[in-house]
Structure 1
C-alpha cells in the first residue's frame, strides 16, 4: 500500500523569471528573423509554463510521473514541478458528512431511526488516492456501516434490558466515543482521520413509536403512583403514631383499619374528595 511521502518543489517565482527570459529570447528570435531561436524559445516557454502550479492553503498536490507516485507537496504558494508529472489536488480541510436517517434494529430487535454526523479530514494523501477508488464515497459508505453496527450492539433504552449499562438513548458520550473509534479503524485504510463523530438523530421507528410512547407513559405513571403510595403510607403511619402519643382518641383495630382505608383513599385518589361531616358519635 502506498504511503505519503513529501517532495520538494522549486520556487515558482524563479520559474517565472526564467519564463520571462525565455519569452524575451523568443521575441529576439523574431526580431532577428531566426526561426530556430523562436522555436527553441517557444518550446522552452511551454515547458516552464506547464510546470507552474499554485497550491492554496490546506491543499496538497499529489505528483504522478508515468503512473508512479513521486510525492506530495503540501506547502502553499507558487511552485514549479516536473511538467511531465500529473498533478492531482487533494483538500486537507476538515469536512462534514451528515448521514441520512437509517432504519435499523437495536440489540433487542426493535426498529429504530438513527443518523450521525462525522467530521473528517485527509491525513495521508497517497492512501486517499491510491488505496481506495473514491475516498469521499468510501467515507460515506463506511460511516453508514459503522452506525448500523453500533446500533446493533446496544438497546435503545433499558426498559426491556434493565441490566444494560450503556444504551443508545442514555449513553450518548460513550456511544459517540465508540463510534469515533470504529470509524478511525475503518477509514485508516483510506488515510482518513475522524476528528469527531456524533449521533444526531435517534428515535423509535414510526410503526412502533406510538406503542413505545404508551409504554413509556405507563412506566412513568406506575413510578409516580408508587411514589404516591409510599408517601401516603408514611403519612398514615405518622398520623396513627401521633394520635396514639397524644392520646387524643382511642381506636380499636377495626376503627384503625377504617381510618387507614379512608386516608389512603384521600391521599392516593386522583380526584379531590368531598368531606363528610359525622355529627354523631365516633361509633354511632
Structure 2
C-alpha cells in the first residue's frame, strides 16, 4: 500500500532565476560560438523548466516519474520538482456529498426512505490516486453502502426507551454512520469529518398504514403508562388511609375502593360520583 511522502522540490523563484541564467548563458555561448556549452545550458534550462509546478492553497500535486510515485507536493505557490514528471492535482479542501434517497428495510422489515450528507476531505493524496480508481466515485458508492448497513440495524421508531431508533436517536446513528464510513474510506486516504441524516421517512406505499400502526402503538403505550400510574396511585391512597388509622377497610371494601379509584383515574371521561347518604332503614 502506497503512503504519501514529500516529493523533491526547490523554491520556484530560485529555480526561475536559475533558468533565466542558463538561458542567458546559452545566448552568450552561441554568440561566442561555444555551441557545446550553449547546448548544455539550453538542455539544463529546458530540464528545469519542465519541472515548474504551481500548487494552489489546500491542494496537493502527486508527482509521477516514469510510472513511479516520487512523492506529493503540499507546499503552495510555485516550485520546481522532478523534471519531465507527471503531476496530478488533488484537492485537500473539505467537501460535501449528498446521498440519494435510498429505499431500505429497517430491522423490523419496514421499508423506509433515508438519505444523508457526508462531509469529508482527502488526507493522503497517494492513497486517493493509486489505491482506488476515481476516489470521488468511491466515496459516493461507499457512502450509500454504509447508509444501508446502518439503517438495517435499527427500527424506524418505537415507543420504549429500550433500544435505539433511527428517528429518536439521530446523534447515535450519525456517530455510527461516521465510524462505519471511515472504516470503508481509510483505503482511499479520505477522512470523514461528519455524517448526518438529512431525510428519514416511511416509504410512500406504506406511509398511511404505518401512520395508523404508529398511532395504535402510541395509544397502547399511553394506556399502559396510565394503568401503571393508576395502580401505583391507588396503592398509595389505600396504604395512606390505613396507616393514618382514619379508615378501617376490610377486604371487600378495599377491593371496592380500588375499583372505584381505578375507574375514576383510567376513564377517558370525567366520572360522576354517587354519594351514599344512607338507607331508609337506618
Give the TM-score band, short-chain normalised: 0.7 to 0.9
Counterpart CA distance in 1 for 2:203 and 2:173 is 20
Q: CA deviation at 1:262?
A: 5.7
Counterpart CA distance in 1 for 2:84 and 2:104 is 50
Counterpart CA distance in 2 for 1:136 and 1:255 is 73
- The equivalent of 1:60 in structure 2 is 60
Q: Which runs of 5+ in 2 are unaligned?
A: none
- The equivalent of 1:73 in structure 2 is 73
- The equivalent of 2:278 in structure 1 is 282
- The equivalent of 2:106 in structure 1 is 106
Backbone CA RMSD of aligned residues: 3.9
> CA 1:113/1:33 → structure 2, altered by over 3 Å: closer, same or farther?
same
Q: Which runs of 5+ in 1 are unaligned?
A: none
- The equivalent of 2:4 in structure 1 is 4
Q: CA deviation at 1:23?
A: 5.2
Counterpart CA distance in 2 for 1:189 and 1:104 is 26
Listed one character per residue, the Cα deviations across residues 194-247 of structure 1 (whole Å, up to 9, x for unaligned) are 233233333222222333333332233233334444555566663797499546
After superposing the two structures, state which structure 1 stretch, 119-128 or 165-174, moved more: 165-174
Q: CA deviation at 1:261?
A: 5.8
Listed one character per residue, the Cα deviations across residues 237-273 of structure 1 (whole Å, up to 9, x for unaligned) are 637974995469x99958984x766655544332345
**Aligned mate of 1:221, from 215, 219, 223:** 219
After superposing the two structures, state which structure 1 stretch, 265-274 or 117-126, moved more: 265-274
Counterpart CA distance in 2 for 1:283 and 1:260 is 23
Contact persistence 2:7–2:81 (CA under 8 A): no
Listed one character per residue, the Cα deviations across residues 90-114 of structure 1 (whole Å, up to 9, x for unaligned) are 1122222222221101122111122
After superposing the two structures, state which structure 1 stretch, 52-61 or 264-273, moved more: 264-273
Q: Normalising to structure 1: TM-score of the pair?
A: 0.76
Q: Normalising to structure 2: TM-score of the pair?
A: 0.77
